[in-house]
Amino acid sequence: MKRSVFRQILLLWLAWLIVLLSYQAAVTARYQVQKPDRVLFWTAASTDTQSLIDRPYLTEPFMNAQVGWDSEFYLSIALRGYDDPKVRSVPPDANAKPPLDRPLALNYAFFPVYPFLIRCLSLPLALLGLTPIATATLAGVIISASATLVAMLAMYTWISAEFDAATGWRSVFYWISFPTSFFLTQVYTEGLFVALSLSCLVAVQHQRWVWAGGLAAVATLTRAVGVALMIPMVLGWWQMYLIERSAQTPQTQTPQTQTHKQIAWQWLALLSPLIVHLIWRFSIWGSAFQIVQAKFFNCQLLNWSAAWGAWSNGFWALWGDNPATAVHYTIEFSAIFLGFLACFATLKRYPGLSGYGLFILAVSLTCGTAWSMSRYLLTIPSVFIMLGQFGKYDLFDRIWSLLSILGLALLTALFSFDLWAG
């Protein structure tokens, strides 16, 4: 990457970070909101005046606008580990066996890489003299924001190599101005996960299979859908293999082909996300994850019946008597449409990338809940490839930028006030 391009992306990232954090400070100082938030059937109980009594990690005044909802669990894991008595828990099953025959903290529904990094960065930041929660919050924001810069560089690198510099630049801008892009600088995993997954795709692009496998493995321990990075990795390797085979002639000698040992190492790297996921899945953490997800978060893999009921109710709520709910589901269904449109638009040219995106969409849509799709779109590269290509038309660029930034302002304000924003 040219130094001038790096400098432009760095300055864009810095301006984005300052503007977003300043906006959160300004909006919370200037606006007053009415609570509780009744946008969904369960949000009122989570946003009333008593809702933070049992959530101490969300009451620290320092950088309080940058934490909310799931931030509680990342901070708890970073400071006290998974078995934190200060965090809500679910009761054990009646026939549970050790070590699952005890209340399980909700922390078990979240993966370890991001809170581990918060814990590591909190050690030097402790010299600032902040409280432990404030220190961990600052560490989380630094990690999220820094990872976002890495993701921007990786996105530009990949897209500019496949298309051109202008498309890469537009895609990066559309990503950081997406309505849910504020999550990239909160105490949430989106920034880190996208940095790892896009860096993996760049490694695939350059046929650095060991690097790709390592990054994918870490991404899998950041969010479960990281295991789907196997799709673009395996298809990328297969495409390389076919090209090498087609280039061979009867006169071609073995020095131009890879050894069996090299191929074995490459396949170990390609399978590393699945290996890591299976090790985690059959550990105590994976077993506890399934229990907590099902009992508290009402989310299970491919829970078709519950998903159909949830999304059907969401569809009919578009014409219901709660305007807030109608706006919420308008955003959610728009996100679903955009996600599928983008994945199918890139399917022919980039089947691995589209398969990865479709996997994320399928898992998210069928877990049994009907929310957060607009946030999950941040992790699907096809969306921003498509937007970057459409952005070459000035009219689309102006309309999309206006719509996206207004949506970003709306959702950022909601999150900053601890209301539901996806």
Sorting pLDDT into bands at 50, 70 and 90, what band is 12? very high
Q: What is the pLDDT of residues 298-354, one digit of tens each?
A: 898 889 999 999 999 999 999 999 999 999 999 999 999 999 999 999 999 999 999
Q: Could you tell me if residue 250 is inside a domain?
A: no
Region 253-261: mean pLDDT is 62
Determine if the pTM surpasses 0.85.
yes
Q: Could you tell me if residue 137 is inside a domain?
A: yes
The one-letter code for the residue type at 279 is I
Helix H, strand E, coil C: the string for 282-334 is CCHHHHHHHHHHHHCCCCCCCCHHHHHHHHHHHHHHCCCCCHHHHHHHHHHHH
Q: Does the pLDDT of residue 253 top 90, yes or no?
A: no
Q: Could you tell me if residue 47 is inside a domain?
A: yes
Q: What is the pLDDT of residue 21?
A: 97
Domains contained in the chain, number: 1
Q: Does the pLDDT of residue 394 top 80, yes or no?
A: yes
- For 418, phi then psi, to 5°, come to 65, 30
Q: Report which of 239, 241, 198 is spatially closest to residue 222, judged by C-alpha positions.
A: 198
Q: Does the pLDDT of residue 248 top 70, yes or no?
A: no
Structural domain boundaries enclosing 388? 3-245+259-416
Q: Could you tell me if residue 191 is inside a domain?
A: yes
Q: Could you tell me if residue 251 is inside a domain?
A: no
CB of 159 within 8 A of CB of 171? yes
The 3-state DSSP class for residue 89 equals strand
H or E element, residue 275: helix 260-281
Alpha carbon of residue 190 to chain centroid: 3
Q: What is the pLDDT of residue 255?
A: 46
CB of 215 within 8 A of CB of 343? no
The one-letter code for the residue type at 244 is E
Structure tokens of 79? Answer: 């400071």
Spell out where 315-417 has E strands: none
CB of 273 within 8 A of CB of 220? yes
Q: What is the pLDDT of residue 251?
A: 56
Q: Could you tell me if residue 373 is inside a domain?
A: yes
- For 105, phi then psi, to 5°, come to -65, 150
Q: Could you tell me if residue 253 is inside a domain?
A: no
Q: Could you tell me if residue 421 is inside a domain?
A: no
Structure tokens of 383? Answer: 């969306």
Structure tokens of 327? Answer: 């706006």
Q: What is the pLDDT of residue 52?
A: 87
Beta bridge partners of 90: 104
Q: What is the pLDDT of residues 141-173, one digit of tens each?
A: 999 999 999 999 999 999 999 999 999 999 999
CB of 316 within 8 A of CB of 356? no
Q: What is the pLDDT of residues 297-308, one digit of tens each?
A: 989 888 999 999
